[in-house]
């Protein structure tokens, strides 16, 4: 689904007409959280969430936080819902056997770094991770899900788009009111360039997505045919241009798009005609049939926290882990 343009414009007619539905959506969420009795895991739970619909970089942030947990001497594991996958009970991801059709794309990215469990039932997923001797659970999304108690919640915000028009879906991109969400969080990860007004005072950790050096070198001064089915494909295309690549083709797809073979053949033919290397994101690449992967390059990225943010973030994580370390 593509986000409506009016979500990221000053509040206009469409938003005004839909705002009563947004109020109802927000009220339903508050009631759900108020009535829930969260389950407490036997290990610390760190939630990487957001307040808006669409991509803000939660999964790369989750991976970066897991690496910081490892640096503190503890074994992390990931807990995710697996967007779009039909999983009934908790399931440990096997990256050698599972693919995007069974567990979706993000769990495969996570599983390359640490034990990963997919589970719509978050407490059940947490128990499975604990049984695998995980010492800290990193939740990729699930901030609005009240069933599992969080020991530390970090909200990822796109610095360029912020909270859009400030309205709750369907009137805007928010999953809940900004003040409600930030009141339950302990920090904000601000991704990219820009400033965002926060109605609740919280520590802000500035970060950005940076390509791996070896991948950046391969596209610099090269002609590329780029495609992406992520929350904001234009950001991927801009990254390639900033690296010095010439974009012969820049084709967006819906977020989590399941690529069909005929679509990939069309893309490969277009790239050949344009004398360009076909390239996509790592998240898209795992949704591609293995038969095509050797002809399509993936640009891998990682989260880089600025020097001022990193020490404070490590202190916050350490405090979360210390009671059960």
Task: Identify the pLDDT of residue 259.
Answer: 95
Mean pLDDT, residues 183-197 taken together? 94
Mean pLDDT, residues 36-62 taken together? 94
Q: Is the pLDDT of residue 56 over 90?
A: no
Query: Cβ distance 176 to 188 under 8 Å?
Result: no
For 221-239, the pLDDT digits (tens) are 999 999 999 988 999 999 9
Question: Which is more confidently placed, 13 or 75?
Answer: 75
The CB-based long-range contact list for 215-220 (8 Å cut-off, 24+ gap) reads: 215/297, 215/298, 215/299, 215/300, 216/243, 216/299, 218/297, 219/243, 219/244, 219/245, 219/277, 219/279, 219/297, 219/299, 220/244, 220/245
What is the length of the chain?
A: 325
Task: Concatenate the DSSP letters of all residues of 245-279 into one string.
Answer: -EEEEEEE--TT----HHHHHHHHHHHHHTT-EEE
Task: Identify the pLDDT of residue 89.
Answer: 81
Mean pLDDT, residues 140-168 taken together? 95
For 202-216, the pLDDT digits (tens) are 999 999 999 999 999
CB half-sphere exposure, 149, CA atoms < 13 A: 10
User: Which range, of 43-52, 148-157, 303-312, averages the lowest pLDDT?
Assistant: 303-312
Q: Is the pLDDT of residue 324 over 80?
A: no
Q: Would you state the CATH architecture of domain 13-208+304-324?
A: 3-Layer(aba) Sandwich (3.40)
Please report which confidence band the pLDDT of residue 325 belongs to, taking 50, 70 and 90 as the band edges: very low
Report the chain's mean pLDDT, rounded to a whole number: 93
Task: Identify the pLDDT of residue 30.
Answer: 95
**CA-wise closest residue to 153 among 34, 39, 44:** 44
Question: Which is more confidently placed, 13 or 116?
Answer: 116
Query: Cβ distance 320 to 267 under 8 Å?
Result: no
Share of the chain above pLDDT 90, in %: 84
Ordered by start, the domain boundaries in the chain are 13-208+304-324, 213-299
Query: Cβ distance 89 to 124 under 8 Å?
Result: yes
| SS3 (DSSP) at 222 | coil
**CA-wise closest residue to 65 among 300, 303, 281, 301:** 303
Cβ neighbour number for residue 132 with a 10 Å cutoff: 11
Task: Identify the pLDDT of residue 64.
Answer: 97
Query: Cβ distance 243 to 279 under 8 Å?
Result: no
Q: Is the pLDDT of residue 130 over 90?
A: yes
Mean pLDDT, residues 304-314 taken together? 93
């Amino acid at each position: 689904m593509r986000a409506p343009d009016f979500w990221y414009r000053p509040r206009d007619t469409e938003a005004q007409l839909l705002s009563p539905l947004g109020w109802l959506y927000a009220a339903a969420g508050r009631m759900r959280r108020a009535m829930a009795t969260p389950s407490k895991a036997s290990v610390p739970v760190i939630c990487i969430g957001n307040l808006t619909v669409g991509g803000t970089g939660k999964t790369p942030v989750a991976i970066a936080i897991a690496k910081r947990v490892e640096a503190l001497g503890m074994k992390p594991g990931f807990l995710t819902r697996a967007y779009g996958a039909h999983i009934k009970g908790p399931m440990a991801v096997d990256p050698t056997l599972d693919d995007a059709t069974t567990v979706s794309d993000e769990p495969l990215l996570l599983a390359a770094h640490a034990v990963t469990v997919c589970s719509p039932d978050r407490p059940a997923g947490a128990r499975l991770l604990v049984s695998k001797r995980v010492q800290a659970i990193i939740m990729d999304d699930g901030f609005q899900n009240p069933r599992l108690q969080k020991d530390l919640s970090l909200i990822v915000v796109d610095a360029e788009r912020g909270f859009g028009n400030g309205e709750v879906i369907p009137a805007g991109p928010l999953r809940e009111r900004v003040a409600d969400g930030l009141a339950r969080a302990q920090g904000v990860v601000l991704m990219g360039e820009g400033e965002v007004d926060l109605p609740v005072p919280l520590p802000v950790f500035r970060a950005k997505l940076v390509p791996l050096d070896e991948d950046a070198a391969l596209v610099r001064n090269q002609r590329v045919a780029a495609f992406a089915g992520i929350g904001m494909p234009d950001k991927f295309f801009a990254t390639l241009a900033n690296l010095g690549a010439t974009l012969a083709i820049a084709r967006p797809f819906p977020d989590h798009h399941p690529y069909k073979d005929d679509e990939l053949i069309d893309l490969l033919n277009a790239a050949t005609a344009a004398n360009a290397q076909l390239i996509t994101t790592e998240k898209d690449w795992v949704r591609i049939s293995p038969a095509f992967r050797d002809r399509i390059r993936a640009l891998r990225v990682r989260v880089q926290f600025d020097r001022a943010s990193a020490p404070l973030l490590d202190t916050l994580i350490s405090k979360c882990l210390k009671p059960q370390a």
